[in-house]
């Protein structure tokens, strides 16, 4: 609780005590007015001042104006306790609102705290403490245990564990050593590291995330915009309605001045739209804050609303459903044993920089000594050949096997088969494939359980590979052998069905499709500028299970928003009718206004618990 909140709470408690004391005193006339004026002014002076200031500015119809008119009117009619009570309970509602907003802000502030204050840069052999904005690309930064990493970079020296919880929501630290990348905003836990800055602060991960979170408040959901417009029209209508409710019966029907004045004041108190105006934005604010703690960044309330409606998910394959890293998935020897086949394949492939070649080398560290190979030749689009013990070794695809007249065989497994031959003797093949993420099937099952039954994978890979991945993950449909520009046209054709479509990609080469979909969701985006720029929702790590979690948070947020709207409008309409008929007094009006506001705020605060 802040100092201001504590002061306001003390003021409310004192005013409540004075109200009770004044109600017990046996005084009448001017003394009764003066006694009740003390708690009234104690708790309501700021509301009266704001109302007067807004009137002088020409802004008549706001909640302070309604509260001022209603409470002053109650004093004019001699209903002093009711007037103080209305103001008192209004301030109780305002206090609850400030506490709720404070909690929402703190949930986002935990993320905003990722900004480093300083950076220790090494210049001319000396350590200098500077602002992160002053560090140049390529400079060496020293980061000690407990310090935030100020800029995106690569570790030059040292090894450590890094806490990325503020960025990804993942509580477990990750180990990093020389040659590996680190991102700004994460916390160095154990060792001293020297980091080469790869980007200026303005382009760093932390700067982009902070900018994103600051902009999110300005992007209102459709329902939020409607509530704002509704309040602008509704409040003047209410004032006119209350005035007519007072004037028509008293002037035309000779009704009681006091009775119809009381009914008009009840009408004013009940009709204050604070419950809607406060609770709806607060619900979205809480939802965005709660999601941020999970490492899910939603760029605005409008995207939270869209996310809740998603019923079709379209996935990129590489880096989204799969790890985006080639790995050896099978070894099928024929004339030699498995170890000997991998010895030969890894030795020859060590002369290539191709990702598939690198995956074979990684899978078999104890390959033959490269110095035993001579006359290594690369055949574009086919593979490599080399001399080993006076024999020509060929490692590559079927075309290379045909060229050396080897009797090679097709492989039934998905992936890329690398065939090996010695002379024209076929020795077997190694299967290399992009490995499916272990949590992909769980994530797709989670989406289907939530009613997102239509899932589609888009890939430039072969049809057989796409079919195998869909079978393994549970994705319903696929479109294979696509060119990069084909992904956008596929998304456009799927949009024609009228479903709310989310495209999920790694954000690097999927920016056009991310932008074209109803909702672009980038995952594994920690450190990816393209992801943060192109997507509407950013999953900061590459765990696909955060996708159903994000949709769940959005749906819970929208459910709470709808509950508050229905509850607030329903109670107010009922009490307005009762008040107009003289069946509801000021105390019921207070509940219909402040009580509904407090209940709506408490309900909205549930969005923080994700």
pLDDT given at position 222: 65
Query: Whose structure tokens read 């020897």?
Result: 333
DSSP-derived pairing of the beta strands 322-333 and 187-188? unpaired
Domain co-membership, 423 together with 441: no
Domain co-membership, 487 together with 398: no
Domain co-membership, 369 together with 382: yes
Task: Quickly list DSSP for 509-528.
Answer: S-HHHHHHSSEEEEES-TT-
Is residue 14's pLDDT more than 90?
Answer: yes
CATH number for 409 = 3.40.1110.10
pLDDT given at position 604: 78
Question: Is residue 114 situated within a structural domain?
Answer: no
pLDDT given at position 542: 78
Average pLDDT (149-161) is: 90
Domain co-membership, 364 together with 415: yes
CATH number for 533 = 3.40.50.1000
- The stretches of 57-174 forming alpha helices (DSSP H) are 63-76, 80-112, 165-168
579-603 in b/e form (b: 16+ CB < 10 A) is: bbeeebebebbbbbbbbbbbbbbeb
pLDDT given at position 357: 86
> pLDDT tens-digit profile of 465-523?
888 889 989 999 999 888 767 888 888 888 887 789 999 987 666 778 888 889 989 88
Q: Which two tokens stand for residue 194?
A: 């020297």
Average model confidence (pLDDT) for the chain? 82
> pLDDT tens-digit profile of 325-352?
788 888 999 888 888 899 889 989 888 8
Beta bridge partners, 523, equal 539
pLDDT given at position 106: 58
Overall residue count recorded for the chain in this entry: 610
Higher pLDDT, 109 or 193: 193
> pLDDT tens-digit profile of 119-130?
899 988 888 888
Domain co-membership, 442 together with 424: no
Starting at the earlier edge strand, list the strands of the sheet with 425-436. 322-333, 425-436, 416-422, 391-396, 383-388, 373-379
380-389 in b/e form (b: 16+ CB < 10 A) is: eebbbbbebe
pLDDT band at 402 (very low <50, low <70, confident <90, very high): very high
pLDDT given at position 105: 57
Angstrom distance (rounded) from CA 297 to CA 537: 6
Beta bridge partners, 392, equal 387
* CB hemisphere CA count around 135 (13 angstroms): 35
Angstrom distance (rounded) from CA 434 to CA 326: 5
Question: Is residue 469 situated within a structural domain?
Answer: yes
pLDDT given at position 436: 87
pLDDT band at 529 (very low <50, low <70, confident <90, very high): low
* CB hemisphere CA count around 352 (13 angstroms): 26
pLDDT band at 108 (very low <50, low <70, confident <90, very high): low
Domain co-membership, 442 together with 502: yes
Is residue 97's pLDDT more than 80?
Answer: no
pLDDT given at position 426: 93
pLDDT given at position 311: 92
pLDDT given at position 526: 57
Higher pLDDT, 484 or 247: 247
pLDDT given at position 312: 92
**Nearest alpha carbon to residue 218 among 164, 142, 285, 141:** 285
pLDDT given at position 473: 92
Please provide the distance, in angstroms rounded to a whole number, between the alpha carbons at the two ends of the chain. Answer: 22
Domain co-membership, 458 together with 399: no
> pLDDT tens-digit profile of 577-586?
887 777 777 7
Question: Is residue 412 situated within a structural domain?
Answer: yes
pLDDT given at position 367: 65
Catalytic one of 117, 124, 152, 316 = 316
Sorted by sequence, the CB contacts under 8 Å of residue 516 that are 6+ apart come out as: 488, 491, 492, 495, 503
pLDDT band at 401 (very low <50, low <70, confident <90, very high): very high
pLDDT given at position 536: 85
> pLDDT tens-digit profile of 163-192?
876 666 565 678 888 988 888 888 888 889
Query: Whose structure tokens read 């992909």?
Result: 440
> pLDDT tens-digit profile of 429-443?
999 888 888 899 999
Of 551, 573, 603, at which residue does a domain stop? 551
Task: Quickly list DSSP for 588-603.
Answer: HHHIIIIIHHHHHHHH
Within 10 A of 134 (CB to CB), how many other CB atoms are there? 13
Average pLDDT (572-591) is: 77
Domain co-membership, 460 together with 315: yes
Most confident of 19-28, 211-220, 258-267: 19-28
pTM: 0.70
Question: Is residue 344 situated within a structural domain?
Answer: yes
Higher pLDDT, 525 or 604: 604
Query: Whose structure tokens read 């154990």?
Result: 190
pLDDT given at position 229: 67
Domain co-membership, 442 together with 543: yes
Question: Is residue 168 situated within a structural domain?
Answer: yes
Above pLDDT 70, what percent of the chain? 85
pLDDT band at 318 (very low <50, low <70, confident <90, very high): confident
Task: Quickly list DSSP for 144-178.
Answer: -TTPBP-S-EEEEE--EEEE-HHHH---S-EEE-T
Question: Is residue 61 situated within a structural domain?
Answer: no
Domain co-membership, 480 together with 528: yes
Asked whether 386 and 375 are in contact (CB, 8 A), the reply is: yes
Alpha-carbon distances, residue 42 vs 13, 90, 232 (angstroms): 11, 13, 29
Domain co-membership, 386 together with 403: yes
pLDDT band at 194 (very low <50, low <70, confident <90, very high): very high
CA 147 to the chain's CA centroid: 25
Angstrom distance (rounded) from CA 48 to CA 65: 8
**Nearest alpha carbon to residue 301 among 218, 229, 221:** 221
> pLDDT tens-digit profile of 408-428?
988 888 778 899 999 999 999
Beta bridge partners, 521, equal 504, 537
pLDDT given at position 421: 94
Sorted by sequence, the CB contacts under 8 Å of residue 208 that are 6+ apart come out as: 529, 532, 533
Angstrom distance (rounded) from CA 367 to CA 347: 6
Burial of 349 (0-12, 13-18, 19+ CB in 10 A): buried
Q: Which two tokens stand for residue 213?
A: 């979170």
Question: Is residue 48 situated within a structural domain?
Answer: no
Average pLDDT (111-140) is: 83
The whole domain housing 523 covers 299-322+437-551
Query: Whose structure tokens read 């309970």?
Result: 89
Angstrom distance (rounded) from CA 387 to CA 394: 9
Above pLDDT 90, what percent of the chain? 18
* Catalytic site includes residue 593: no
Give the chain's domain count. 3
Asked whether 505 and 489 are in contact (CB, 8 A), the reply is: no
Question: Is residue 452 situated within a structural domain?
Answer: yes
CATH number for 150 = 2.70.150.10
Q: Which of the residue ranges 143-147, 259-263, 453-457 would you say has the lowest mean pLDDT?
A: 259-263
- The stretches of 316-367 forming alpha helices (DSSP H) are 338-349, 355-363
pLDDT given at position 171: 57
Average pLDDT (289-311) is: 85
Domain co-membership, 428 together with 446: no
């Amino acid at each position: 609780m802040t100092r201001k909140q504590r002061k306001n709470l003390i003021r409310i408690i004192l005013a409540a005590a004075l109200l009770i004391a004044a109600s017990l005193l046996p005084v009448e006339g001017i003394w009764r007015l003066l006694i009740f004026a003390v708690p009234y002014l104690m708790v309501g002076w700021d509301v009266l001042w704001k109302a007067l200031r807004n009137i002088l500015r020409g802004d008549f119809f706001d909640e302070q104006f309604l509260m001022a008119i209603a409470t002053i009117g109650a004093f004019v009619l001699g209903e002093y306790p009711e007037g103080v009570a209305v103001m008192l309970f209004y301030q109780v509602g305002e206090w609850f609102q400030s506490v709720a907003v404070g909690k929402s802000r703190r949930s986002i502030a935990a993320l905003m705290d990722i900004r480093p204050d300083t950076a220790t840069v090494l210049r001319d052999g000396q350590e200098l403490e500077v602002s992160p904005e002053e560090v140049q690309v390529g400079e060496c930064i020293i980061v000690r245990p407990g310090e935030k990493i100020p800029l995106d970079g690569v570790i030059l020296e040292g090894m450590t564990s890094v806490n990325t919880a503020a960025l990804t929501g993942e509580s477990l630290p990750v180990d990093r050593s020389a040659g590996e990348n680190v991102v700004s905003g994460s916390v160095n836990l154990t060792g001293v590291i020297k980091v080469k800055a790869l980007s200026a602060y303005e382009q760093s991960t932390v700067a982009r995330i902070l900018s994103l979170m600051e902009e999110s408040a300005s992007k209102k959901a459709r329902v939020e915009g409607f509530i704002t417009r509704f309040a602008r029209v509704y409040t003047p209508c209410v004032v006119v309605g209350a005035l007519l409710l007072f004037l028509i019966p008293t002037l035309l029907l000779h009704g009681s001045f006091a009775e119809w004045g009381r009914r008009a004041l009840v009408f004013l108190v009940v009709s204050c739209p604070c419950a809607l105006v406060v609770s709806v934005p607060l619900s979205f604010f809480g939802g965005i804050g709660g999601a941020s703690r999970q490492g899910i960044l939603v760029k605005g309330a409008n995207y939270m609303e869209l996310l809740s409606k998603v019923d079709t998910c379209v996935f990129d394959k590489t880096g989204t459903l799969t790890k985006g890293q080639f790995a050896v998935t099978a070894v099928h020897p024929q004339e030699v044993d498995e170890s000997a086949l991998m010895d030969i394949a890894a030795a020859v492939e060590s002369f290539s920089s191709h990702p598939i070649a690198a995956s074979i080398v990684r899978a078999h560290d104890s390959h033959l000594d490269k110095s035993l190979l001579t006359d290594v030749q690369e055949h574009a689009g086919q593979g490599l050949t080399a001399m080993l013990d006076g024999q020509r070794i060929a490692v590559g695809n079927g075309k290379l096997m045909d060229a050396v007249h080897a009797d090679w065989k097709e492989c039934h497994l998905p992936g890329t088969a690398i065939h090996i031959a010695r002379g024209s003797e076929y020795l077997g093949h190694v299967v290399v494939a992009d490995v499916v993420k272990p949590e992909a099937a769980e994530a797709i099952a989670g989406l289907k359980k939530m009613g997102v039954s239509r899932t589609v994978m888009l890939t430039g890979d072969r049809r057989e590979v796409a079919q195998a991945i869909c079978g393994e993950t549970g994705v319903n449909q696929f479109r294979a052998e696509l060119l990069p520009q084909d992904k956008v046209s596929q998304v456009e054709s799927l949009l024609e069905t009228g479903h709310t479509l989310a495209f999920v990609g790694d954000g690097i080469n999927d920016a056009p499709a991310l932008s074209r979909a109803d909702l672009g969701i980038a995952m594994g985006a920690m450190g990816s500028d393209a992801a943060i720029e192109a997507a509407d929702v950013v999953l900061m790590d590459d765990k696909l299970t955060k996708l159903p979690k994000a949709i769940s948070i959005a749906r819970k947020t929208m459910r709470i928003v709808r509950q508050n709207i229905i509850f607030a409008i329903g109670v107010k309409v009922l009490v307005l009718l009762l008040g107009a008929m003289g069946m509801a007094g000021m105390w019921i009006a207070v509940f219909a206004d402040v009580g509904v506001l407090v209940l709506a705020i408490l309900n909205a605060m549930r969005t923080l618990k994700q």
